Amino acid sequence: MAAALRQLNGGGAAPAGRRPLLQPLRLVPGVTLFLFLAPIAAGLIGTLLPAFGWLPDLGGERFGLHPWRALFAAPGLAGAVRLTLVSGLLATVLSLLLVLGFCAACHDTRLFARLRRLLAPLLAMPHAATAIGLAFLIAPSGWILRLLSPWATGWDTPPDIATVQDAYGLALVGGLMLKETPYLLLMTLGALDQVQAKRTLAVARALGYAPAAAWLKTVLPRVYPQIRLPVYAVLAFSLSVVDMALILGPGTPPPLAPMVLRWFYDPDLAMRFQAAAGAVLQLGLAAAAILLWHGLERLVARLARPWLAGGGRGAGGRLGRAVAGTAMATVFATAGLGLLSLAVWSVARRWQYPDALPAAWTLDNWARHLGALAWPTWTTLTVGLAAAGAALVLALGCLENEQRHGVRPSSRGLWLLYAPLLVPQVSFLFGAQALTAGLGIGGTWPALVWSHLLFVLPYLFLSLADPYRALDDRYARAALCLGASPARVFWRVKLPMLLRPALFALAIGFAVSVAQYLPTLFAGGGRYVTLTTEAVTLAAGADRRVIAVYALLQALLPLLAFAGALAVPGWLYRRRYALAGMR
């Protein structure tokens, strides 16, 4: 995929002695690009036109600025924009600082290695379940206050303070950090391997630099360019998140994205014009924030030059290590406790404030909702497996095409890959409905899978590309020279050797699909509900025990997928020593 453009442009000459030109494999990058870019392009057009008054289905047959006038007259818009910018920027800045600070201060500690191993389950947690878990912890009647009351706080009833859905969006910032910190940490860890940080650090340490100073001065300048796109993706996501904002963010006014969503679903269809203008405004906010961030990057890089070459060796950094380590451990612990609180609530019969644990336990919550759970669980499973499976096939096809035809991955391809993660969902998903409707699949299961594929493919591809490209190509060459066809080499040599990363990528893809809220809402056309849409809907006010059942199941599915991705190769290769311990 990353190399798809070059391939389309005819780049990469076919080496001598290769197969004839007409091969299905050669079509894969093009098909992938179409599946990928068509909905975004169509979606942006389908949002832009109504934003300027054009939507013939609803009688909008003249271009004009009335959607914008309606948008700017909407009550609470200024507050929504302010809230969006503050919470989105704050969540991104804090997550990035936390990750960089932790890597700088703690890269050589045991905590670093330990948290690294816990990363996968944390990444697997869907946003909605994470947000609900956090709410269950920090709400005035949440677990933390229950554990502290009444002996420490003296409260016998929940205090009247808004710790969730607070007007400043701080709970939302916290929830975003629980998801973005592990993601940025994962991306940074991958970049560290790429730039061979260990060797650089050894040189800097030998020159007398303290660990943190050595990391910040020699590793960060090379790691940051590698994580720039992920940071932009985090920024765009934080500014436009819907499901977490519905659960943790304030309601009056909400951040811009949930506000726009509310307008799209307003019974008064004329509101669609205003909603489209709001979606374009959302796009503008994300673009402006990324540009601003890019400017700040350059400013920081310039200001840091004298410091980089200034020769300061830095101090021991005990305090920094303690602070950064504690902060990162807190993120991991909070996410873990949130998951645990979901589990406890899902089997609670009676749990009065301020008891630390339920007074009575029961499986009734599960038994009673088994019937209602079946259909959303089935949809979640089938859509997730289909989207992840399709993405795996496309990613493998692109990567195999790249290797067989000697196409080099390009940075332009990487930007294309990130496109669905950089454009706010609310800005194009509504418009993309026009495309699926035009193809006659609006609101159907294939449209739902397709909409998930947009977000599954980038993550899956990025996870698979490095191990795929890193496989020693002499294995394939040896197999070819033994008389095996390229197809046989792929199926019998490469794929089995890459089974572990391939299944891991599949699990990532599945987890991404399970987490999707807005695509399910729009592409499902209301006909398809998943555990995610149900959990978000229920979070607005249902019984905590019911919310917990849905949210826990939503979190368990990806966790099971990851467990399977580890267990299957482990079992298959239990007698293959060289493959058993990999990863």
Partner 1 sequence: MSADRATSRLELREIWLALPERGGGRRLLVPPLSLSVAPGEVVTLMGPSGCGKSSLLAYLCGTLDPAIRAGGRVLLDGVDLTDLPPERRRLGILFQDDLLFPHLSVGENLAFGLRPGDLDRAARRARVEAALAGAGLGGFADRDPATLSGGQRARVALLRTLLSEPRALLLDEPFSKLDATLRATFRRAVFDHARARALPTLLVTHDPADAAAAGGTVIALETTESGDAAPDAAGTRPPRRGVTRA
Which positions lie near partner 1, rule CB under 8 A?
12-19, 405-406, 408, 472, 474-486, 492-493, 496-497, 499, 573, 575-579
Instruction: Give per-residue burial for 237-256: e unless 16+ CB within 10 Å, then b.
Output: bbbbbbbbbbbbbbeebbbb
Q: Which two structure tokens, joined as six digits, stand for 424?
A: 């706010």
Residue 294 or residue 576: which is nearer to partner 1 going by CB?
Answer: 576
- Give the three-class secondary structure for 212: helix
> Under a CB-based contact definition with an 8 Å cutoff, are residues 427 and 42 in contact?
no
Pairing status of strand 54-55 against strand 60-61: antiparallel
Q: Least Å distance between CB 570 and partner 1?
A: 13
Nearer to partner 1, 3 or 432 (CB): 3
Residue 162 sits at φ, ψ, to 5 deg, of -85, 95
For partner 1, give the closer residue by CB, 20 or 541: 20
C-alpha to C-alpha distance for 81 and 391, rounded to whole angstroms: 35
Q: Shortest gap between Cβ of 496 and partner 1 (angstroms)? A: 4
**Nearest-10 Cα torsion for 443, 445, 446, 448:** 70
The Cα–Cα gap between 134 and 104 comes to 27
Cα 103 to Cα 224: distance, rounded to the nearest angstrom: 12
* Residue found under tokens 């025990």: 545
Q: Indicate the residue among 14 and 203 with the shorter CB distance to partner 1.
A: 14
Instruction: Tell me how many degrees the CA angle 99-556-456 measures, rounded to the nearest 5.
Output: 65
Minimum CB distance to partner 1, residue 576 (Å): 5
Angstrom distance (rounded) from CA 335 to CA 331? 6
**Closest separation in Å from C-beta 190 to partner 1:** 23
**Which is closer to partner 1, CB of 352 or CB of 411?**
411
**Shortest Å distance, C-beta 483 to partner 1:** 5
Report the residue number, 319 or 482, with the smaller CB distance to partner 1: 482
Among all chains, which residue has been given the structure tokens 């961030």?
A: 293
**What are the Cα distances from residue 390, in Å, to 3, 14, 159, 394?**
19, 27, 49, 6
Q: Which two tokens stand for residue 79?
A: 């507050």
Residue whose CB is less far from partner 1, 20 or 154? 20
Nearer to partner 1, 255 or 569 (CB): 569
**Residue 380 Cβ vs partner 1, minimum distance, rounded to whole Å:** 32
Which uninterrupted H or E stretch holds 136?
A: helix 127-138
Considering the complex, what minimum distance in angstroms separates the CB of residue 471 from partner 1? Answer: 11
Report the nearest approach of partner 1 to the CB of residue 311 (Å): 34
Q: Is residue 83 a contact partner of residue 169, using CB atoms and an 8 Å limit? A: yes
Quick check: 510 and 388 in contact, CB under 8 A?
yes
Does an H or E element contain 54, and which?
A: strand 54-55
Q: How far is the CB of 499 from partner 1 (least distance, A)?
A: 8
Structure tokens at 103: 């890597």
335 to 40, 123, 563: CA distances (angstroms): 32, 10, 18
Burial class (CB in 10 A: 0-12, 13-18, 19+), 551: buried
Please identify, using beta-carbon distances, which residue of 30 and 496 lies nearer to partner 1.
496
Minimum gap (Å) between residue 484 Cβ and partner 1: 6
Phi, psi of 292 (to 5 degrees): -60, -45
Judged by beta carbon, residue 400 or residue 534, the one nearer partner 1 is 400
Rounded to the nearest whole angstrom, what is the least distance from the CB of residue 474 to partner 1 in the complex? Answer: 5
User: Smallest distance from the beta carbon of 29 to partner 1, in angstroms?
Assistant: 16
Taking residue 302's Cβ as centre, other Cβ atoms within 10 Å add up to: 9
232 residue type, one letter: Y
Specify the residue, 374 or 478, whose C-beta has the smaller distance to partner 1: 478
Residue with smaller CB distance to partner 1, 231 or 476: 476
Q: 360 or 481, CB closer to partner 1?
A: 481
State the minimum distance, in angstroms, from the CB of residue 408 to partner 1: 8
H helices within 423-543, ranges in order? Answer: 425-438, 445-470, 473-481, 486-489, 495-497, 499-515, 518-523, 531-539
Structure tokens at 156: 């016998």
Tell me the one-letter amino acid at 141.
Answer: S
